[in-house]
Amino acid sequence: MEKKKVFIIDTNVILFDPHAIFKFAEHDVVLPLVVVEEVDNFKRDMSENGRNARTFSRLIDELRSKGALSKGIPLKSGGKMFIDIGTTEKIPELPHLDLGKPDNQMLALAKKMSKSSKDEIIFISKDINLRIKADACGVKAEDYEPSKFEVEDIYTGTASISVKGVLIDDFYAKRKLPVEGMDHNFHPNQFIFIRDDSNPNHTAIGRFDVGQNSIIPVFKPSEGLWGVYPRNAEQAFAIDLLLNDEIKLVSLVGKAGTGKTLLAIAAGLSKTVDEGLYSRLLVSRPVMPMGHDIGYLPGTIEEKLNPYMQPIFDNIDFLFGVSSVAKTNRRGAGKGTQELINQGLLNVEPLTYIRGRSIPNQFMIVDEAQNLTPHELKTIITRAGEGTKIVLTGDTMQIDHPYLDSMNNGLANVVECFKNEGIAGHVTMVKGERSKLSELATQLMQ
């Protein structure tokens, strides 16, 4: 019989997922009182931390009606949830532990319970250094990862099959390759590399269409997208998804220079400005600086946001054929971009104020989506109104958020959650096309 476990939860876990206390199956959950005090410090914040803090407080208040928190309240999963006042007594094994610090109070409680309990005590924290510290103190510590999957297991959006050469000839002639009888289980809108099992140079590429139960050719616009043509198969796959009006959620994951953002913006301009299918192109990204933050910025809201939105402006101006030299000396939107904004066809904004909005009939691009939590991306996707298409771009290996990694970020979560849905499509882009220098830097500098 598996030994019963008791999980002691750190504050950052609650701020990451306010429902975390319900996700430890039949095991008990202990919240140190200091966690409740720390969460209380965030309740007035208008950030995601503040919203999560308020959600958690409401959940705990509801549980109070079912019993005493100090004695344990039964959870639907089978375990119990306790709030422990902790300890201010020095732990003999840890004489130098400063109990004036909240983190150390949690460690002291975990150490004390480990000594007195027959159950397995596990400290759960999203703070890497605190987990290291816990291990040094003899306390078992783990990260909070509600979605357990490895990086290499994340859905790539592609697959390879080997068939007889005559089937590839039929695919080109009939523009369809039925998959009935094949020993493969394809995901909706998955891209397939088709190879001749007797001739490696006889190949084709296609996309699995659920409705037809067949592999169909990848759509390639003859005139490109605003002068942009695919340079490799992955970019061709991305364009096929971006221009398919039946696919309402597209995720493009790849390293720097693979063309994710440029292709997404080009498709958005094509669908909005050229075809008029959408009323507006909405481009947004998290306000997340790289490296040391320079603090508060002067000026209007537009001037404050320009440094964060500059990558978007650069891509749009590139599509308009405007070099950075031809632009004004100050940073910001170029002439072509500004004209689209003035006409109401383009809106570039941060994600800060998206909660509560309804966004109908728009082509929405969320750049750098790897810096968003699963809950934040859920909030964004649920804002989509009738006729809206959402494109998520990002690199799951370049994350600036302190409590996210390549597995638990919102972008990876969306890829896994929607891989079996016909309304969604995904491509992992590997080959860099920005420049030879950019590709070498990606390969050589880890």
**Could you give the C-alpha distances from 393 to 129, 249, 437, in angstroms and in order?**
30, 11, 22
Q: Which long-range contacts (CB under 8 A, 24 or more apart) does 98-104 make?
A: 102/11, 102/34, 102/35, 102/37, 102/38, 103/10, 103/127, 103/130, 103/133
Q: Is the dihedral of CA 288, 290, 291, 293 positive or negative?
A: negative
CB-based contacts of 369, cutoff 8 Å, min separation 6: 251, 286, 377, 392, 393, 394, 410, 411, 414
Strands 214-217 and 346-350: unpaired
Count other Cβ atoms within 10 Å, centred on residue 361: 14
Half-sphere exposure of residue 84, counting CA atoms within 13 Å on the CB side?
23
Coil, helix or strand at residue 294: coil
Answer whether 137's CB lies under 8 Å from 94's CB. yes
DSSP state of 187: P
216 DSSP assignment? E
Contact 111, 94 (CB under 8 A): yes
**E strand or H helix that includes residue 18:** none
Q: How crowded is residue 166: how many other Cβ atoms within 10 Å of its Cβ?
A: 9
Report d(CA 340, CA 312) in Å as an integer: 13
How far apart, in whole angstroms, are the C-alpha atoms of residue 77 and residue 25? 5
Element housing 371 (H / E): none
Alpha carbon distance 27, 31 (integer Å) = 13
- pLDDT (tens digit, 0 to 9) for every residue of the chain, 446 residues total? 467 899 999 999 999 888 899 988 889 999 999 999 999 999 888 777 888 899 999 999 998 888 888 888 998 888 899 999 877 677 777 777 788 888 988 988 998 898 888 889 999 999 989 999 999 888 999 998 776 555 567 899 999 999 999 999 999 999 999 998 888 889 999 999 999 989 989 999 999 999 999 999 999 888 888 888 999 999 999 999 999 999 999 999 998 889 999 999 999 999 999 999 999 999 988 865 433 344 555 666 566 666 667 888 888 888 887 434 344 434 455 667 788 888 888 888 777 767 677 889 999 999 999 998 888 899 899 989 899 999 999 998 888 877 777 778 899 999 999 999 999 999 999 887 777 787 777 777 75
> Strand 120-124 to strand 80-84: parallel, antiparallel, or no bridges (unpaired)?
unpaired
How far is residue 116's CA from residue 57's CA, in Å, rounded to a whole number?
A: 29
β pairing state of 5-9 and 28-32 = parallel
Q: Report the distance separating Cα 381 and Cα 393, nearest Å.
A: 13
